A and B are shown apart, each in its own frame.
Chain A
Amino acid sequence: MIAKVLNYIKKNWKRLLIYAILIVVTFIFLLPIWVALVTSLKPWAEIGTTNPLAPPRSPTLEAYGEAIEKLGRPLLNSLVFTTGAVLCSIIIGSWMGYVFSKQKFRYKELLFMVLVAGTFLPYTTIVFPLFRTMSELNLTYTLPGMVFVHTVYGIPICTLLFRNFYTHIPDKKIRELKKRKASDWEIYRKVILPASKPAIISVMIYQFTSIWNDFLFGLVLGGVESQAMPVTVGLFGMMGGLAKWNLFMAGAILTVLPLLVIYVLLHRYFMMAIMEEEEAH
């Protein structure tokens, strides 16, 4: 028996070594998530008195109750404006992607580069002029304002992602339709849109993740809870008070929960979006 095992190890030591390293690295990657999870399930009395790595002795959802009380409204805000902005982003990005991939006009490449270069800009630099502009439009501290700002700043990246997907669509059908004097809208509806499904899912996930996770715009333009405060800002605000780590961890987990669900179900498209973005850069 032992000889058999030794023999197996001898034969497969390379593979076993790789698995061993992979498992150690996985442990490191999942450790913070594990710690957050066990802490969130501990009652207040176990915080600071028990090993932070150990599971709770008497698991409870009390921290979640308090977290939902505090983050319920911000969670709802985030859900509403993120969904709205994602829908707008898909509609606009899809059309712009079509324009920049299939239509011909002067300076197309240059305009596209100008658009894409904007994604490199750290938005803290323009936070003040943006705030002035938004207050003049009466869009500060409102949900429509959050939808607006996320849609506008999402245009470059969504255009880029859709354009990359659409360049793979063969031109043949478009040429045929053009001969029959079809309008742009007709070409878009008959050729581009039916081929858009993977692109739409990818952009949806990409935009949902980045809008949901945004902190800066929410901090400046979101206002207080009852207005349009996103959940990231709500979580940040919670940290200001007493150091109730079980509450903070419950809040953190509630904040990532929607993303976790999407990620587990649709990670394939998430990776696709990342690769497309990277390639374009």
Chain B
Amino acid sequence: MVLFVLAAYFVYGMVTWNVVISFTDWKGAIPSYNFVGLSNYSAVIKSDLFGRSLLNTFILFSAIPLCLAAGLFLAFLLNQRVKGIKIFTIIFLLPFAFSLVVTGVIWSWMFQPDGAINSLLRSIRLGFFARDWISSSAILASVLIPIIWQFSGYSALVLLAGLKSVPRKEIEKARKKGMNWWQIFWKVEFPRLRIPLLSCAVVIFVFVLKASFDLLWTMARGYPPGSYYTLPILVYVEAYQKMNVAYGAVIGNILVGIVLAIVLPYVWFSYRGHR
């Protein structure tokens, strides 16, 4: 019970503390708890960098459907009954074990103007695709690639379990009716993937939020803030680096609000589904 309280305190206690701070005028190293109402909130919402970071965060969320689509493709491949398929499962999941900092460092090198990606594109005569992947105007789109590289193996594993749960009998039956593999996939297998897809999307949402700090903080160091700041980065910079404690708390709360708005309906839905 003590342990439960400890864990709950370090999660919910901190969130509550943030809420309290967000209504005060705390700025700098010395705590200050003068109540200032909602003025911090209005200041944050009016600031350009906040709007930009919010937009950037939502741009990164496009990685979620991309990871799911890539994962679905991989799961479909891995569900084929050919020899040695397990090796491929292990390879696809490998990047998931990597630290996001390592991913960031490696892909920074891949993305260099004379780096591996451009060299590869030129050598297969796709040189016109070569570009400055890591420039400040491209980084936000480029970073989607390492995110997919890192997390699609995870969604493949989860969706593969979903595909495997489809009874063989139903597939045989569909085959006898003369359906081709695409119809079987779409009409028999896909409907059973709805719940794994949903839960996978929520988990990847959490991963992407983590990546939106770790990965961009590693890869975009020194770039103009507007080009890569996301909400987690903005919280870190305001609350911890610049000591604009109250502002940081406000942005943190807004981020918690966004997470709750997405996760709570899901938890509620799946809780009711279990009963």
Contact = CB atoms under 8 A, between A and B. Distances in A.
B267 interface: yes
A208 B233 CA distance: 25
A240 B245 contact: no
Contact of A39 (B21, B109, B249): B109
Interface in B39-62: none
A61 interface: no
A48 B118 CA distance: 13
Interface residues of A, number: 76
Chain A interface SS verdict (over half): helix
A215 B88 contact: no
B21 A118 contact: no
Contact of B221 (A212, A240, A263): A240
Nearest to B274: A109
Contacts of A39: 109
A118 B6 contact: no
B116 A31 contact: yes
A120 B93 contact: no
A100 to B, nearest CB: 9
Contacts of B12: 114, 118
B8 A115 contact: yes
B210 A122 contact: yes
Contacts, number: 225
B207 to A, nearest CB: 10
Contacts of A127: 235-236, 239-240
Contact of A278 (B120, B203, B245): B203
Given A19-B82, A32-B110, A124-B232, A51 B14 contact: no
Given A18-B80, A278-B158, A29 B91 contact: yes
Contacts of B190: none
Given A51-B119, A127-B235, A248 B109 contact: yes
A53 interface: yes
A172 to B, nearest CB: 25
A30 B213 CA distance: 24
Contacts of A92: 3
A125 B18 contact: yes
A252 B108 CA distance: 12
A90 interface: no
A76 interface: no
Contacts of B200: 278
B7 interface: yes
B197 to A, nearest CB: 12
Given A22-B77, A29-B92, A122-B210, 10 more contacts: A121-B256, A122-B259, A215-B214, A239-B105, A239-B221, A245-B112, A255-B99, A260-B97, A267-B93, A281-B270
Interface of A: 15, 18-19, 21-22, 25-26, 29-33, 35-36, 39, 48, 51-53, 92, 95-96, 111, 113-115, 117-122, 124-133, 152-153, 155-156, 209, 212-213, 215-216, 220, 232-233, 235-236, 239-240, 245, 248-249, 251-252, 255-256, 259-260, 263, 267, 270-271, 274-275, 277-278, 281
List the 10 closest pairs (A to B, CB-CB), nearest first: A213-B99, A125-B252, A126-B14, A118-B11, A124-B232, A155-B7, A128-B239, A129-B17, A129-B14, A52-B116
